Amino acid sequence: MENNELIVRVTEKARLWLGDEYDAETRADVKRMLDADDKTELVDSFYKDLEFGTGGLRGIMGAGSNRMNIYTVGAATQGLANYLKENFKDLPQIKVAVGHDVRNNSRKFAEIVADIFSANGIKVYLFDSFRPTPELSYAIRYFGCQSGVNITASHNPKEYNGYKAYWEDGAQIIAPHDVNIIDHVNRIKSVGDIRFEGNKSLIETVGPEVDKAFLADIKSLQLSPEVVKEFSDLKIVYTPIHGTGVTLIPESLRNYGFTNIINVPEQDVPSGDFPTVESPNPEVPSAMAMAIAKAKEVDADIVMASDPDADRIGCVIRDNSGEYVLLNGNQIVMILLYYIITRNVELGRMTGNEYVVKTIVTTETIKAIADNAGVKMFDCYTGFKWIADVIRNNESTLRYIGGGEESYGFLAETFCRDKDAVSAISLMAEACAWARSKGMDFQGLLQDIYLKNGFSREVGISVVRPGKTGADEIQAMMKNFRENPVKELGGSDVVVVKDYATLTVSDMRTGKSEKMDMPTTSNVLQYFTEDGTKVSIRPSGTEPKIKFYIEVKAPMATVADYDGAIAAADAKIELVKKHLGI
């Protein structure tokens, strides 16, 4: 479409937003965009409708059909309400929980969501203020709800907000409900279809009651209370990076028995502007800079952070030279699962029916840890809705003891069904104390895990290709990888190729293929080499990028080999990148 045609189309669409059914603030904002000489903002705001996808909504806040605002949030909620009334028509009272993070407009959107649900005769449990995302998941189960909504954009930039929809088990929605809800949302064609006038008698404010219950259940996960008592003065620097973690995480650490929790005062201030960081993402080193500076000041043993909605964990430890270094998401999951499994063994709690879960792009060292302990391991797709699906499918027969993914998410419990930084940070601190009781610092624990289970090094690379031409290029890249499979990576032959789009696993040595058992297809390719290298390739579902996950192995016979193993692995990663053309 020519640029002039596009401007004409979006102008016509935008003028509809000047009608009386829209509030004065929205009309004024749209008029400003229409009157501006530069039509870039107008086009970006109206060239398409913000899509309700399988994870809900996420977008930049502002007026327009492609923005997060009370009307796009309203349409999503009305569609979800219609589906709930259809799906649970035999229940005398449908119930939902509604939460939100610290972002600008999050409270406003959450109250509108509550009003719309209540206007549709649905009972609403609305948190009195911002809370961690995992607590919303917990509240759904606590109150026996059929669904839930959390207003959050996780660790996205401050301009963004989002809408996450959950089902009755506290997990984010998967098939068949995801596509059914999307269909109902797409049926909302006008503002007049949305019931904005709430029924206040159906909205119940949720206060400290759920906080106390959630924290008590998290305390029940503790495995080493006597060790924490011995090392209660462990120096822990924690930052919520202006987010919701400030409400529960310091208290949870104190519940576990830790007494020396050191905060970063500037970042304890809840703010949707995230004023002290460029990006409120704990996997980005710059987001951890203030916490690391505080750690150096107080000589801390460990540094931890949560992202704005407190579902992801960041962790910094000291290396052999005393420098503070950021753990990657694979290492965090690896340490937590190793600790939980080892302590269960030490406590005599293993019965042979325990299992752990990881996503397909997460390190294979976790499989080695599980295999060495005789624990079953499940692989699933990226995203905690799939880990929750594994829990759902096994909760009557097997005991879940932990699961996580490389993107800094971990879940230690089943009373919540989304990744949880509150429990993860509490258990990570406990693991640090436990390592001390074994005569190791945290770096020593990490090295011990590698010695027992094999050394691995992982890196994630995102190739950004914005716009329609970028989307076409990403599609062409995936097509090329499928039609011209990589035969060698890092000096080792590719021996197995997994294509999750066709659910086919192919042995390149024999030429034989067989089907994989997965709940659905996904646009992901994986290569496995003879020497243990694994490469996963997938387009992002939410951003204009294609992601490469590279994992390589290197020999490590003793602790003295650690630095050499890192150097050898890094050299191999560079070679793999060349073979992939990235």
**Torsions phi, psi for 211 (to 5 deg):** -55, -50
> What are the C-alpha distances in Å from 172 to residues 91, 163, 211?
21, 11, 21
Instruction: List active site positions.
Output: 154
Query: What whole-number distance in Å separates Cα of residue 378 and Cα of residue 387?
Result: 9
How far is C-alpha 377 from the chain's CA centre?
20
Specify whether the CB–CB gap between 30 and 14 falls below 8 A: yes
Burial (CB count within 10 angstroms: exposed 0-12, middle 13-18, buried 19+), residue 388: buried
**Torsions phi, psi for 459 (to 5 deg):** -145, 140
> What are the C-alpha distances in Å from 36 to residues 11, 33, 135, 257, 571?
12, 5, 43, 58, 52
Q: Which of 391, 382, 436 is nearest to 409 (CA)?
A: 382
Q: What is the 3-state secondary structure (H, E, C) of 431-458?
A: HHHHHHHCCCCHHHHHHHHHHHHCEEEE
Strand arrangement of the beta sheet that strand 354-359 belongs to: 376-380, 354-359, 399-405, 409-411
Instruction: Give the up-direction half-sphere exposure of residue 208: CA atoms within 13 A in the CB hemisphere.
Output: 1
Tokens of 508: 């390149």
